[in-house]
């Protein structure tokens, strides 16, 4: 334990701070170059940036920044509920979907219970589970895809949450729709399935599992969505959880007031209506992914075929690749924290 006089929760000693992608400004300072000279590919951000409509909405709202935000995200909740075909009481908004993972842990996890997840999936699931004293159980993947059978086998009487990132970060793969839906239909009633759909907009719609109809039929499922990726609002930190109203109500009880700032709300509302920006993003991602795959094949480098806006590539020593590309003003993400020391993303 750390040498401080105040007793603290012992499981904090098991935690390791999350290491995000290196900021553009940090590398620019190190190299003595302007930030515009740096290309960041580490954090799966939208290469087109935010919607022009979102930028205009921010500019128009700037004069109201002295006011507290709408704690209920009323207008945004109304618009998202219309888009999804649910009522606003199905929605909980957060400062990025990460905050919603924390809220789920606060409500459902504690010492003595478990949360099940895949080994090579978003590290925050493990980190947040341990933060509240629960035991994260990580199961192997099937190749590069989440193994729903392994998840099922790991669920015991003490399990409360099972995390499924679909598509998965950092592999960029998705579970087959029928496979995932069958898994969700088999889940025991004492377990809540948390389906993290941060990258779901990059998938063809006919391959996207139907979660909401299952929630309506009483399945214990919630979905996490974000405005950080396809909508290009990562810097504003806004996401939302879609859940049956009894689950959403529990999350609202532990949510901090004013947790989503005004700028994020107005930008997200404008971004939702800019379907042209989404289409242009999807077109760019598809063409650049195809180009990158071709170039990697020519170089003889192994990669994991992706359905998202990022790709996992085997380069040998990932940290060495990371350092070498930084000298060329390019930031990628070494994957040793996922046990993939010879990969970058």
Query: What share of the chain has pLDDT > 70, as a percent?
Result: 99
CATH number at residue 333: 3.90.1150.10
- Is there a single domain that holds both residue 59 and residue 205? yes
Give me the domain span that covers residue 76. Answer: 52-273
- Is there a single domain that holds both residue 59 and residue 192? yes
- Is there a single domain that holds both residue 106 and residue 143? yes
Q: Is the peptide bond before 153 cis (omega within 30 degrees of 0)?
A: no
- Is there a single domain that holds both residue 268 and residue 281? no
In degrees and rounded to multiples of 5, residue 223 shows phi and psi of -120, 140
Please report, for residues 84, 97, 151, 152, the alpha-carbon distance to residue 138 in angstroms, rounded to integers and kept in the order given: 31, 21, 8, 12
Counted domains in the chain: 2
The answer to whether residue 88 sits within a structural domain is yes
pLDDT attached to residue 340: 97
- Is there a single domain that holds both residue 106 and residue 215? yes
> What DSSP string runs through 66-99?
TSPP-TT-HHHHHHHHHHHTS-GGGEEEESHHHH
- Is there a single domain that holds both residue 33 and residue 156? no
- Is there a single domain that holds both residue 95 and residue 153? yes
pLDDT (tens digit per residue) in 75-91: 999 999 999 999 999 99
- Is there a single domain that holds both residue 194 and residue 205? yes
Instruction: Give the predicted TM-score (pTM) of the model.
Output: 0.95
Q: Indicate if the pLDDT at residue 270 is higher than 70.
A: yes
CATH number at residue 171: 3.40.640.10
pLDDT (tens digit per residue) in 171-215: 999 999 999 999 999 999 999 999 999 999 999 999 999 999 999
What are the structure tokens assigned to 111, written together? 């010492």
- Is there a single domain that holds both residue 233 and residue 108? yes
3-state DSSP of 256-287: CCCCCCHHHHHHHHHHHHCHHHHHHHHHHHHH
pLDDT attached to residue 18: 85
pLDDT band at 1 (very low <50, low <70, confident <90, very high): low
- For helices 96-108 and 245-254, the axis angle rounded to 10 degrees is 100
The answer to whether residue 161 sits within a structural domain is yes
pLDDT attached to residue 21: 86
Q: Which residue bears the tokens 């299952």? A: 214
pLDDT (tens digit per residue) in 281-334: 999 999 999 999 999 999 999 999 999 999 999 999 999 999 999 999 999 999
């Amino acid at each position: 334990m750390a040498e401080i006089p105040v007793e603290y929760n012992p499981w904090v000693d098991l935690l390791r701070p999350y290491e995000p992608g290196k900021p553009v400004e940090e590398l620019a300072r190190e190299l003595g170059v302007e930030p515009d000279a740096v290309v960041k590919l580490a954090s799966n951000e939208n290469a087109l940036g935010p919607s022009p409509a979102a930028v205009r909405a921010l500019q128009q709202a700037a004069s109201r920044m002295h006011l507290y935000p709408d704690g209920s995200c009323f207008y945004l909740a109304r618009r998202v509920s219309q888009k999804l075909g649910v009522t606003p009481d199905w929605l909980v908004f957060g400062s990025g979907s990460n905050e919603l993972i924390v809220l789920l842990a606060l409500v459902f996890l504690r010492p003595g219970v478990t949360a099940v997840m895949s080994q090579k999936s978003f590290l925050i699931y493990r980190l947040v589970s341990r933060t509240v004293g629960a035991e994260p159980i990580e199961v192997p993947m099937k190749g590069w895809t989440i193994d729903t059978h392994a998840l099922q086998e790991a669920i015991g009487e003490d399990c409360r949450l099972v995390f499924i990132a679909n598509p998965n970060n950092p592999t960029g793969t998705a579970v087959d729709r029928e496979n995932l839906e069958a898994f969700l239909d088999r889940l025991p009633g004492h377990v809540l399935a948390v389906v993290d759909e941060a990258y779901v907009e990059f998938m063809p719609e006919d391959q996207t599992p139907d979660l909401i109809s299952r929630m309506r039929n009483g399945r214990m499922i919630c979905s996490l969505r974000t405005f950080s990726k396809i909508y290009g609002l990562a810097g504003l930190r806004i996401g939302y959880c879609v859940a049956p109203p009894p689950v959403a109500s529990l999350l609202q009880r532990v949510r901090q007031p004013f947790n989503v700032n005004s700028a994020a709300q107005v930008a997200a509302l404008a971004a939702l209506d800019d379907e042209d920006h989404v289409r242009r993003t999807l077109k760019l991602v598809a063409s650049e992914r195809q180009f990158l795959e071709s170039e990697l094949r020519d170089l003889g480098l192994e990669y994991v075929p992706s359905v998202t806006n990022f790709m996992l590539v085997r380069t040998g020593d990932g940290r060495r690749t990371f350092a070498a590309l930084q000298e060329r003003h390019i930031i990628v993400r070494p994957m040793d924290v996922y046990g993939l020391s010879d990969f970058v993303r």
